Structure 1
Amino acid sequence: MNLLRRLLLSAPLLPLAAQAQEAWPARGTIRFVVPGPAGGAGDVTARLVMERLAARLGQQIVVENRPGAGTNIGMTLVARAAPDGYVLGLASIASHAVNRSLYRNLPFDPVADFAPVSLLALVPNMMVVPPGLPVSNLAEFVAFARARPGQINFGSVGAGSSQHLAGAQFAQATGIELQHIPYNAGGQMNTDLMEGRIQVLFQSVSAVAELARAGRVRPLAVTGTERIAAFPEVPTLREGGVDIVSTGWFGVVAPAQTPAAILDRLHAETIAALAEPELAARLAAGGSLPRASASRADFARFMAEETARWAPVVRATGATAD
C-alpha cells in the first residue's frame, strides 16, 4: 500500500514537470554572454541577433559583455552556468577553434562543456592600410612589404584573434615578414594605423567601415570567399592574387546538458530570426554574412573542422597565451 500510495501521489507531478520544461523561457530574463568588449564585431552581431531572438521567444535577452583572456573569461562563465536555457554564450573562432591550440591549460573543454545551437554569421576581415602608404592594391602592398623585411607591423586584439590569424596566414602565403603587435582594444589599434605606427590591419569590417568611407584608412582586400555588400568595390584576397581565405565567425552555444527541447527551440528560432530580411540586411551592412546551421549537429561539425583547420596556422606562428 505504501508503494501504491507513493505512486499515486507522485503521478500528478509528472505532467507538471513536463509543463515546466515546455514553458521555457517563461521563468525570467535570458543572459547572453559576449566574451569580448562592447562595440566589437561579436558584440554588434550578438545585439542585432538577440534583439530579434528575444522578440521571437517573447522573453527579454540581456547581452552581457565579459571580455578578457582571449574569450576565456566569458566562456568559462557559460560553461559553468546551470544548463537551464537562461545563460547562453557567443562562440567564436577564438573560443571554439583556436584557443585549444593556443592555450596549454584551457579552463573549459570547447566540446564537452558546451551544447551547440547554431552558427550566426561569417565575419570576413578587411585588409586596410594608412592612406599615406604608397600602395593602392594588394600586389603593390606585397611588393612594398617584401622590400622591407621586418619593417611592416600589423596589429590585432590578441594572439588567436581573427585579425592575428588573418595576418599570420597572409604572411605565410606571401612569404613576407610581418611583425605582430597585439593590442588590448581595437580603437587604439585603428588610431595607430591611421597615424602610421603600424602599416596594415586585417580588421573587422564594422570596426573600420566609417574610417574607410571617410578616407582615413585605405581598403585593399577582404579576407572571405566573396566580396561584401558593404564594400562591393573591394576585391577578395584571392581576386588580388593571394589564394587564402581567413574568415571569423560567431555562433550560439549553451552549457552542456541543456535539455534537447530547449536547444531545439533555440535553434529553430535562431534560424528563423536570421531569415528575416531586415536582420540579414543589418548584418550585411556591417560586413557580416548571415549563416544559420541546418542543424545543431552541423554547427558541431563546423566547429570541429575549424579547430583542425587553424591548428597548423597557430603552430606555425609559435604563438602561445599561457
Structure 2
Amino acid sequence: MNGVLRRALLGAPVLALPAVARAQPAWPDRPVRWINPGPAGGAGDVLSRLVADRVSARIGQPVVVENRPGAGTNIGMTAVARSAPDGYTVGLASIASNAANRWLYANMPFDAEKDFAAVGLIALVPNIVVVPPQNPPRTLQDFIAWAKALGRPLNFGSVGIGSSQHLAAAQFGRITGIEIIHAPYNQAGQMNTDLIEGRLDVLFQSISAVAAMAQGGRMRPIAVSGPDRVPAFPDLPTMREQGVDVTTTGWFGLVTPAGVPEPILARLDEVLAACLDEPALRDRIGAGGSIPRVMRRADFARFMSEESERVGAIIRATGARLQ
C-alpha cells in the first residue's frame, strides 16, 4: 500500500455498524403479581384466587395474589397505579376503586381513568341482605317495621366506604327514612362474626362472602339487593320485589398500570376471556353467588366510566364525603 492511500484510509471516518437489537424476553418470563385491594376472605379475595389460578395455568407462570386492603381500596390500587407498566402487576378493580372513590375522597392518590389500563370484567357481585338469626325479621318489610320500632339507629358493616355494600345500605336508609350507622371493616370474617353474634343489625354483603353461612342458617337472608334474583338463592326475592328500589350491584374486573405495552394488554385480555369461558370456573364463581361476565377491554373501560357517573349520583344524594 502506498503512503498516500494508507494515510487516506487511516484518516477516513469510522462507519458505525448497525446495532443488533437485543431480543426482549417474551411476556411473561417470571411470576405476575395480582393485587387485591380488599380484605382476605372477602368477595374480591375469593374471585382473585379462583381466576388467578386459571390465568396462571394459561400463561405458564405463577400469578401470586397479594391482599393490600385499606382506605376503601385506595392503598392497594395506588400500589397498582405506581407499579412498573411491564405486565407483571395487575389489580382487581371494583365499584369502589374505579367508580365511587373519586366522588368520596377529597384527595385521591390516583386517577381512576388515566392511571389504569382496562383488561376486562370478571364478575358481577350482587349483595344479599342478611340479619342475625336470633332477630325476628324474616322478610325485608318485617325488617323495616322492626327497625322503625327499635328506638335506635341500625348498625351495619361493609368492607369500606364506597363499596357496593355501603352504597346499598346508604340507598336503603335514604329510601326508608331509617337512620343507619356505618362501621367499615378491614376483615370480612370479623364483620360476618359480628353480625352472627348480634353486634351488627344487618349486612348488605357480597353473596360470595356469606353464601355458605346463609345457607347453613348462621345468618338469615331476607333479600337480594341486585336487580334480579340469583342462582345461589333462587327463592329469595329482590329488594325491589319487596317494595324498596335498591339495585346496587358490585363488580370486579382486571386492570394494569397505564402504559403497559399493547401486545401484553391484548394477551391479558385474551387469557382472561378464555378463563371466564371455562365451564368449571364459571360454575365455581356462580356457586359463590357471583355472576361471571366476559367483557373485553374497550367495553370494560366504557363500563367503568358509566358506573362512575351512576354511582356519583348516588353518593351526591347521600352527601357522603371523605378527606
TM-score norm. by structure 1 comes to: 0.91
In 2, distance between residues paired with 1:72 and 1:2?
58
Question: 1:148: Cα distance to partner?
Answer: 3.9
Is the Cα contact below 8 Å between 2:168 and 2:246 reproduced in 1? no
Question: 1:174: Cα distance to partner?
Answer: 2.7
Aligned to 1:170: 172
Q: Secondary structure at the match of 1:9?
A: coil
Aligned to 1:127: 129
Structure 1: 5+ residue stretches without partners: none
In 2, distance between residues paired with 1:55 and 1:194?
38
Which structure would you say has the larger Rg?
Answer: 2
Is the Cα contact below 8 Å between 2:38 and 2:159 reproduced in 1? no
In 2, distance between residues paired with 1:67 and 1:153?
22
Pick aligned residue for 1:186 from 164, 188, 196: 188
Aligned to 1:306: 307
1:42 aligns with 2:44: yes
Q: Note closer, same or farther for the CA distance 1:98–1:36 as it changes in structure 2 (3 Å cut).
A: same
Q: Secondary structure at the match of 1:125?
A: strand
Runs of at least 4 residues off by over 4 Å? none
CA-to-partner distance for each residue in 1:112-146, whole Å, 9 max, x for gaps?
A: 11111001011111100111222211122222223
TM-score norm. by structure 2 comes to: 0.91
Code of the residue aligned with 1:157 in structure 2: it is V
Is the Cα contact below 8 Å between 1:67 and 1:73 reproduced in 2? yes
Q: Note closer, same or farther for the CA distance 1:301–1:149 as it changes in structure 2 (3 Å cut).
A: farther
Matches within 5 A, 1:1-322: 5-6=15-16, 8-10=17-19, 12-13=20-21, 16-17=22-23, 20=24, 23-25=26-28, 27-148=29-150, 150-293=152-295, 295-322=296-323
Percent of residue pairs identical: 60
In 1, distance between residues paired with 2:13 and 2:40?
59
CA-to-partner distance for each residue in 1:33-52, whole Å, 9 max, x for gaps?
A: 11122211101101101111
In 2, distance between residues paired with 1:258 and 1:157?
30
Is the Cα contact below 8 Å between 1:150 and 1:179 reproduced in 2? no
Is the Cα contact below 8 Å between 2:156 and 2:183 reproduced in 1? yes
Structure 2: 5+ residue stretches without partners: 1-11
Which is further off, 249-258 or 217-226? 217-226
Is the Cα contact below 8 Å between 1:146 and 1:177 reproduced in 2? no
Is the Cα contact below 8 Å between 1:149 and 1:177 reproduced in 2? no
| Count of residue correspondences | 312
